Amino acid sequence: MIMKRVYILALFLSFVILAGYAQTEETIDEEGKVPAYTLPALLESNAGRKITTVEQWEEIRRPELLTLFTEQVYGKSPVGEVDVSYRKLDDNHSAVEGSATRKQIEITFSKNGVRRKALLLLYLPNQIKTPVPVFFACNFQGNQTISTDPDIIVSSDNPRGCAQSRWPVSKIIDAGYGLATVYYFDFFPDRKDGHAESVLALFGIRGEQDIASDGGQALSAWAWGISRMMDYFETDRQIDASRIILMGHSRLGKAALWAGAQDSRFSIVISNCSGCGGAALSKRAFGETVGTINNAFPHWFCKNFRQYGRNEVALPVDQHELIALIAPRPVYVASAEEDLWADPKGEFLSAFYAGDVYRLYGLEGLQSDVMPVVNSPVVHRVAYHIRTGKHDVTDFDWENYIKFADKWLK
């Protein structure tokens, strides 16, 4: 009899636990279900000191936040010198119907007897005779997918031009900008066991087991690679390295924000639908959450980040602080109306709250915490838009990024 009661009680308890589990795992896609949350104070040091000047921001708070994001979210970047060599494989002045020069550079990294290669594709406008500003974004599927140009050297098995709707090359060239891109797999193949083939292998990392709890994985490797491309831009006399606009979509938007936060050589940073671990606030737990992202992609963030799954309250930072690390440089955050997984409102609020640091510099952030209507960009030193449509990169996005770059760089 007693055994039977214990059994029923155990059954009941496991039902309660499972129901609770299922409930916390459920994706929140309605504003009314967002839990109450408190954001960490952006302008207060770890020791509780108020940050009121640019000097205090740069000397105290900014380094504190960089350390927190490094150790708790993205992981430490590879450190140490790597031998780098550049080989120009192509330099053709009659690309894009004669309006651009196409260059393809093979970049070889060597260290500890390990070698990794990246293939950088560049289109530079012929109409401009002085060093040009360049939009730089990693691509998802291989360089040859961004255009049907038959002379792009392939960097994957994917069909030529299959991603061309996301890359309006002529529009960018006609606006007087260059375009640079590289396949993100060149830095870390986006797989759970991608470590051995990644650039992390240059630093002795062969697998997840070699990574410390605060060690970087894919996002850190992508950000490292993004900075190595900037090293190249600094050597190319046709490029104005002081006017590189770093753009990234989705997971590559997360990488762009993290690279742009660490590497102030990027003059503008643009996040397109970057979502959880990118522009979206983690503590809102709307759409994709810290728990779901770490389960699906255990190789993206550092292992320490896993402890905040379904425990965002313990997270010592939130993503408005990542955007603030880009200040005083211009930053643009963009969302898509149907991209609820990326939490458009959380992306907007991050951009809004980051404004406090821009104001320290005497610059304007977003003026209101009420989201703008669709397809109506709000543009200050911090800019934001939400466009109609799905998780993607569209002409509307690019047209606004070009206007933003014109405003701040020309």
Q: Exactly one of 155, 250, 274, 282 is catalytic; name it.
A: 250
- Contact (CB, 8 A) for 300 and 293: yes
User: What minimum distance in Å lies between the beta carbon of 180 and ligand GTR?
Assistant: 20
Report whether 107 contacts 120 (CB < 8 A).
yes
3-state secondary structure of 383: strand
Q: Which two tokens stand for residue 12?
A: 């009941």
Residue ranges in 196-235 that form contacts with ligand GTR under rule CB under 6 A: none
* Distance of closest approach, residue 276 Cβ to ligand GTR, in angstroms: 5
Minimum distance from residue 164 beta carbon to ligand GTR (Å): 17
Minimum Å gap between C-beta 251 and ligand GTR is 3
Regarding 346 and contact with ligand GTR (CB under 6 A), the answer is no
Q: Which is closer to ligand GTR, CB of 228 or CB of 249?
A: 249
- Determine if 251 is a binding residue for ligand GTR (CB under 6 A): yes
Q: Which is nearer to ligand GTR, 124 or 293 (CB)?
A: 293
Instruction: Annotate 299-368 with DSSP letters as a single string.
Output: TTS-GGGGGGTT-GGG-S--HHHHHHTTTTS-EEEEEETT-GGG-HHHHHHHHHHHHHHHHHTT----S-
In the bound state with ligand GTR, the residue whose beta carbon lies nearer, of 135 and 222, is 222
Of 72 and 267, which CB lies nearer to ligand GTR in the complex structure? 72
d(CA 73, CA 299): 12
- Look up 380 and say whether it is catalytic: no
Collapsing DSSP to helix, strand or coil, 166 comes out as helix
Please tell me which residue in 45, 110, 380, 391 is annotated as part of the active site. Answer: 391
- Cα–Cα nearest to 316, from 60, 128, 46: 46
Q: Return the residue of 163, 293, 317, 334 that touches ligand GTR, per CB under 6 A.
A: 293
User: Nearer to ligand GTR by C-beta: 267 or 274?
Assistant: 274
391 is catalytic: yes
* β-strand partners of 83: 110
Binding residue for ligand GTR, selected from 186, 240, 263, 288, defined by CB under 6 A: 288
Q: For helices 251-262 and 62-69, what crossing angle results, to 10°? A: 140
- Least distance between ligand GTR and beta carbon 391 (Å): 7
Name the token pair of 85. Answer: 């060599």
Site size toward ligand GTR (CB under 6 A) is 6
* Amino acid sitting at position 224: W
Q: Which residues are the active-site residues?
A: 250, 391
Chain residues binding ligand GTR by CB under 6 A are 250-251, 275-276, 288, 293
